[in-house]
Structure 1
Amino acid sequence: MRAVVLIEPGPVENLKLADLPVPEPEPGWVRIRVKAFGINRSELHTRLGLAVGVTFPRVPGIEAVGVVDAAPGSDLEPGQQVAAMMGGMGRQFDGGYAEYTVVPRSTVVPFSSDLPWEVLGQVPETLQTAYGSLTTGLDLRQGQSLLIRGGTSGVGFAAAALARDMGATVFATSRSRDRLAALAERGVDHPLLDDGDVAAQVRAIVPEGVQAALELVGTPTLPDTLAATAVHGTVCFTGMLSNQWTVPDFYPIGYLPAGVRLTAYGGEASDLPTAVLQRFLDQIASGELSLGPATVYRMEEIQRAHDDLEHNRVFGKLVVLTS
């Protein structure tokens, strides 16, 4: 089979397209014929040597979509459409950047859809992260206001779609004025140009601040996101588009505005119920929900795809088709 192998941490040239044996699944594991996989910041962190506990060489990839090829001792049948994500994929064992991947059953979520694979490839980890952030992280409710910091990321677009479907008023940011129209086209009520002082823009519209905020950029923008949030509102720290995720010399009393709650979210496949995935896919198919834009690559273009991600040349989700 063809697979992308990360020889060792470093530049994009360390991602090599190679021929590897098709892996054999043990009982309780599932071999998936991969049709598409998303590219995530997590894999960028692995390539840059920022991930902990990864051995090399390694096939990266924390997610994939495809069909079951073999599933000994499992409830899954060959030919079943599935998504796989997290659980050590691409770090503790080889991940989704391949024509076949073998993963634990616990990482697999079955579904049924006629959507093309390049669309399905956008969904698993993006939806899991957005859904978990809004529900577990923020407990978002109908009628509340939500700020998405980093709105033109794949998770940002998914979170906006879910939040609108939940009945929230959505604010979302982009650092590029040219991308604000894409937010508006997908139902964002208040697209905001991120000039570093988003809190002032938010409070010009809702003086008390938003009731919920999803931080996808990282620690550089977190103080401003906290400042945009109302007393008794909640900020969920989920993303690190900036590649910065720690706060030096964190002093909570001086850092957190009085009465504003700060939480975080990082989930697994088990945090995305099958029914939620299926409903989301059905709503995309019916036109009720709209995903953000995707840039689609072939496996031979993996170096270019990683370079585009690292340098923020494209927005929305990056998806690779295996054939």
Structure 2
Amino acid sequence: MKAYVIERAGGPEALQLRDIASPEPGAEEVQIRVRAFGLNRAEVYLRAGKLGDIAAPRVPGIEAVGEVIHDPSGTFRIGQRVATAMGGLQFARNGSYAEQATVLRDNLIAVDGIDLPWEELAALPQAYLTVWGALDKRLGIRPGQTLLVRGATSSVGMAAVAYAKARGLKVIATTRSTDNGLRLRDIGADEIVVDSGEIAGSVREIAPAGVDAALEVVGASSVRDTLKTLRPFGAASVIGLLGGPPSLERLHLMLDLPGASALSFFPSGLLGTPALPLRDSPLAWIAGEIAARRMPSLRSETFEFDQVRRAHSVMQADRALGKLVVRV
């Protein structure tokens, strides 16, 4: 099969298209025919050598959609449409930048019977599963609450806006550019705040008592200011590191945390583990809502398999407002 392989760190040119063997699935694995995959910052970091030395050839990619080729357990049938994310992809096993992938069964979700093309399905797994884990499992969002999404123009931030709105929340979204406001409103944001580095005052003008929950995509560089937007007993979850290293120095528990509020970090590596099984994830429901046009598509551009290098250049240059996907 053909797959993109990284043999040494570098720019997009480090992605080399090679013929490699497709590993046979083990007892806990499923082999799939990859039809499309989404692009993520984790793959840029791997390619650039920011995730450690590349001691052996690596196939990048942490999510995919496609059809089942072989499931030794018989849980999934041959030809069944499925989606996958994480489960060691690109780290403990070959990633999804390939014609075939062998994935953990626990990280596979059936999406058959949904009238969406592969490229639309490929825009969903990693972003929406991460949002589900943080918003539902960590923050416990409920209809009628107010959610702040800081860093809303990232693909996962946009997924958070769209998902929270579909779940009946009021959504305040931040962006560094006023030009992005219309797009954020189109996907469900009720209020837009331009992020100058300090937004707590502006958010408090919208929600004087504070927001119920906050999703922090920017990371440690802005989390103190984000915490100031919470109401007592509110909660914030960090899911992104767009603003730099994940270290927060000298956090003052009394001054930086509002009364009885909570701060957590949600790692998408939990997806599919015993701590967070995917059997009750809403991914199939989300795909159905998008197919019915009750939720917006977040896909911004689709590339062909031989355009992966160009796709990485677009992603690295921050030229996309939405999800980039590759059709195999």
Class of the TM-score when normalised by the shorter of the 2 chains: over 0.9
State the match for 1:65 in structure 2.
65
Residues 111 and 274, structure 1, Cα contact 8 Å, conserved in 2: no
Of 117-126 and 39-48, deviating more is 39-48
State the match for 1:295 in structure 2.
301
Residue 273 of structure 1 pairs with residue 279 of structure 2: yes
**Percent identity of the aligned residues?**
38
Q: Distance in 2 between matches of 1:320 and 1:191?
A: 30
Q: Distance in 1 between matches of 2:280 and 2:54?
A: 29
Q: Distance in 2 between matches of 1:250 and 1:44?
A: 30
Change (3 A) 1:243 1:291: farther
Residues 152 and 179, structure 1, Cα contact 8 Å, conserved in 2: yes
Describe the SS at the equivalent of 1:221: helix
Query: C-alpha displacement at 1:255, in angstroms?
Result: 4.0
State the match for 1:173 in structure 2.
174
Structure 2 unmatched ranges of 5 or more: none
Describe the SS at the equivalent of 2:324: strand
Residues 28 and 74, structure 1, Cα contact 8 Å, conserved in 2: no
| TM-score, normalised with respect to structure 2 | 0.92
Q: Distance in 1 between matches of 2:73 and 2:35?
A: 23
Q: Distance in 2 between matches of 1:279 and 1:130?
A: 14
Change (3 A) 1:116 1:274: farther
Deviations 1:223-254 (A, max 9, x none): 21112222221110111223432224545445
Report how many residues are paired. 322
Describe the SS at the equivalent of 1:290: coil
Of 96-105 and 38-47, deviating more is 38-47
Residue 192 of structure 1 pairs with residue 198 of structure 2: no
Of 212-221 and 155-164, deviating more is 155-164
Of 235-244 and 93-102, deviating more is 235-244
Q: Distance in 2 between matches of 1:76 and 1:53?
A: 36
Q: Distance in 2 between matches of 1:298 and 1:315?
A: 19
Q: Distance in 2 between matches of 1:223 and 1:196?
A: 11
Deviations 1:112-148 (A, max 9, x none): 1220111000011111001111111211112111000
Quick one: which amino acid aligns to residue 70 of structure 2? A
Quick one: which amino acid aligns to residue 140 of structure 1? I
Residues 41 and 241, structure 1, Cα contact 8 Å, conserved in 2: no
State the match for 1:217 in structure 2.
218
Residues 237 and 263, structure 2, Cα contact 8 Å, conserved in 1: yes
Describe the SS at the equivalent of 2:90: coil
Q: Distance in 1 between matches of 2:288 and 2:7?
A: 39
Quick one: which amino acid aligns to residue 262 of structure 1? L
Change (3 A) 1:44 1:104: same
Of 227-236 and 285-294, deviating more is 285-294
State the match for 1:11 in structure 2.
11
1:80-95 matched pairs, under 5 angstroms: 80-95=80-95
Change (3 A) 1:311 1:221: farther
Quick one: which amino acid aligns to residue 241 of structure 2? M
1:119-268 matched pairs, under 5 angstroms: 119-253=120-254, 255-266=256-267, 267-268=270-271
Residues 82 and 108, structure 2, Cα contact 8 Å, conserved in 1: yes
Residue 35 of structure 1 pairs with residue 35 of structure 2: yes
Describe the SS at the equivalent of 1:179: helix
Residue 103 of structure 1 pairs with residue 109 of structure 2: no
